[in-house]
Structure 1
Amino acid sequence: MALNTAFRTLAGAVMGGAIAFFGNSSAVTAAQDSVALYGVGVPYIVRADYGGAVNDRLRDIRSLRTTKRPIKIQGSVCFSSCTMLLGLERTCVNPNTVFGFHGPSRRGVPLERATFDHASRLIAAHYPGVLKTWYLSVARHSLSELLLLKGSDLIQLGVSKPCDAGAGYANVRRRADPRDQEPT
């Protein structure tokens, strides 16, 4: 299936506003906590991850890169900053997981042009080739809706490999659905 066709057929709106990309969370991430507990060979499982601040995700990614643990994105959704995990080596995806992409914003508010371009390049740097190209030309410009792809499309496009079916869940990663949070 051609790249444009795959992306076009699965793109759609699922949320009224973009999830905020930048934050200042001081919480220690699950990835950092798990280094000593699980070591290199134990998979890091991602389930129902609705995203979050890019800065927080970058800390997760640095930690996961250090541990060299395999990443298994096997939950129902991987939205927003969760999709940055696709650029890590040893990452696999469930064919049925839905991935949601959008451009950088501050809680749905557009960024200044220079900040927008910088944040877009930062995010895209964590995507494999064809996904990086699509993100920079299409998805980063979507601020009010998520553009959706299924894991099977990412596998077909060569962006990721499929996870083996019966894998155990040693460390489950779940991030809160932002729609369940109180407004600030």
Structure 2
Amino acid sequence: MISIGYSPVQAGTSSMLVRVVHNDRGGVVGARAQEIATIQRRQQRVEIRGKVCLSTCTMYLGAGDVCVHPATKFGFHGPSYYGRPLKPKQFEYWSKVIASYYPDRLRDWYMSTGRYKADGYYTLTGAQLIHYGVQQC
């Protein structure tokens, strides 16, 4: 179940919407990329505060103005076609797309390790991501 809320927040003299991600188990990479493009175009802040942020939810880390709660668990795995392995060229392409949404150190880890997880997730906490350079909420 995905739970996303919007809250008005005063930012200087103008108000903007904040997208609060509570629990998100992921989805389709292309659709998430389009959603993030909309967030960026609207210059929205994203706050990841739920218990879990899995799979494509982790792509929110590249949405721009993003913060994470230290206790949120983030789940990373490699790209697939609804759980089925991709051909090598597709795997490489989609791995790079996903990694492009991560801060540099996390991107390096994902490309060397995280993307090779096909069953389940590598789990990092928000506190670990803060160590990788992500802002804390």
Fold shared by both chains (TM-score > 0.5): yes
**TM-score category (smaller protein):** 0.7 to 0.9
Map 1:134-145 to 2 at 5 A: 134-145=109-120
Using the size of structure 2 for normalisation, the TM-score is 0.88
Question: Given the two structures, how large is their TM-score scaled by the length of structure 1?
Answer: 0.66
2:135 aligns with 161
C-alpha deviation, 1:40, in angstroms? 6.2
Tell me the amino acid that sits aligned with residue 104 of structure 2: G
Conserved 8 A contact 2:63-2:101: yes
Greater relative contact order, per chain length (Cα 8 Å cut-off, separation 6+): 1
Greater percentage in strand: 2
Structure 2 gaps of 5+ residues are none
Residue 80 of structure 2 is aligned to residue 105 of structure 1? yes
Amino acid at match of 1:149: L
Aligned residues: 129
* Residue of structure 1 equivalent to 2:37: 62
Per the alignment, in what secondary structure is the counterpart of residue 119 of structure 2?
coil
Q: Where do residues 7-86 of structure 1 align in structure 2 (5 Å cutoff)?
A: 41-86=16-61
Cα gap change, 1:40 to 1:132, in 2 (>3 Å): farther
- Structure 1 unmatched ranges of 5 or more: 1-29, 164-184
Post-superposition Cα deviations, 1:51-82, rounded to whole Å, max 9, x if no partner, equal 00001101110100000011000011000000
**2:25–2:57 CA contact under 8 A, matched in 1:** yes
Structure-2 change in CA distance of 1:149 and 1:108 (3 Å): same
Task: Report the 3-state secondary structure (helix = DSSP H, G, I; strand = E; otherwise coil) of the residue aligned with 1:43.
Answer: strand
Establish whether residue 91 from structure 1 lines up as the match of residue 66 from structure 2: yes
Amino acid at match of 1:64: I
Per-residue deviation, 1:92: 0.1
Alpha-carbon distance in structure 2 between the residues aligned to 1:96 and 1:128 = 19
Q: Over alpha carbons, which structure has the higher Rg? A: 1
Would the aligned equivalents of 1:40 and 1:68 in 2 still touch at CA under 8 Å?
Answer: no
Structure 2 letter corresponding to 1:109: R
